[in-house]
Amino acid sequence: MKVFVFSYRDFDEAEPFAQVSEELGIELGVSPEKPTMETLHLAEGYDAISIFTTPINEEMMAELSAMGIKMISTRTIGYEHVDLDAAKKYGIRVSNGSYPPDNVADFAIMLMLMATRKVRQMMQRADLHNFSLQGNLGRDFSSFTVGVVGTGRIGATVIEHLSGFGVKILAYDVRQNPTVAQRAQYVSLEEIWKQCDLITFHAPLLESTFHMVNAESLQQMKDGVVLVNTGRGGLIDTEALIEALASGKVGAAGLDTVENEFSMYYYNLENEPFLHQQLATLKSFSNVIVTPHMAFYTENGMRGMVSSSLHSIQLELTGQDNPWRVL
């Protein structure tokens, strides 16, 4: 079995890829290049490809099919960058990855605390040797009502870890988890908007969740609400968020993911024109913390992504049950 790895990083992925491929008897080909119409030829002669966050569109899917590629495994939980309709059309199977939920959950809580205590503003001032108190007054997190939107593995872990902070926790999901219900109260999405001082997002990006935070839902929220997103950028309408930040409706935000981040995050663009105007605007607010979609990025998280990618390919192509299959 031969697997070609695109967007391969030798500084952190080399060891786990070597270890897991040897364990599974998989022959690897690797390249730091992302998959494009100009680089897909590198996977000629392979059975499957492993990718990261680069979009795979219908034109690329047709080329992969012509090359005999049977499967695409993305080393991410999210798979919205893969055109599933095109994959189905060309008979290419698709799987996603997984990693322990603690890394993202703890990162989300870190953003909550940083946002409520104005840590970014404090650090910016300290860099200028401004150690004054005025304007840095934080909010008492333990008095908050926190809403958790999405109670899958990560959302449930956020709730478990938050339970030690003394906050009141409300939760929303289309499927209620009995274990979560022991620590949080399930309510409607409208009640989340109305009651919560802080809302953290851990829902998948679906047609039903796209722009769930928009001008209308923002108006239903408390004045000064804090928003934290370590889920998917498309859950939040960025233009509506910018307007709400400018008006003070949103008091602070911690964003590990934003809309239209593909082909930007995970690349060094310091010497190139910065064309993501919405992100530039968000970064201009001192009460907004932006991190480049790295909540997952721990030793265990990275190893889990590599391992799940190769294991899913091995299971799928040998006709076994594949728990990571999305198509």
**Secondary structure class of 203 (helix, strand, coil):** coil
Q: Which two structure tokens, joined as six digits, stand for 4?
A: 């070609």
Beta bridge partners of 229: 201, 255
Pick the catalytic residue from 75, 93, 232, 303.
Answer: 232
CA distances from 299 to 15, 194, 302 (A): 11, 38, 5
Beta bridge partners of 49: 4, 72
Q: Are 260 and 278 in contact (CB under 8 A)?
A: yes
| 293 assigned to active site | yes
Positions of E strands within 184-324: 185-186, 198-201, 225-229, 250-255, 288-290
Q: Which two structure tokens, joined as six digits, stand for 19?
A: 């270890």
Pick the catalytic residue from 261, 303, 311, 316.
Answer: 261
Compute the distance between CA of residue 158 and CA of residue 103 in angstroms, rounded to an integer: 10
Contacts 24+ apart (CB under 8 A), 163-170: 165/109, 165/141, 166/142, 167/141, 167/142, 167/143, 168/144, 169/145, 170/145, 170/146, 170/195, 170/196
**Secondary structure class of 166 (helix, strand, coil):** coil
Pick the catalytic residue from 75, 153, 293, 311.
Answer: 293
Identity of the amino acid at 111: L
| 261 assigned to active site | yes
| 207 assigned to active site | no
Query: Which residues does the annotation mark as catalytic?
Result: 232, 261, 293
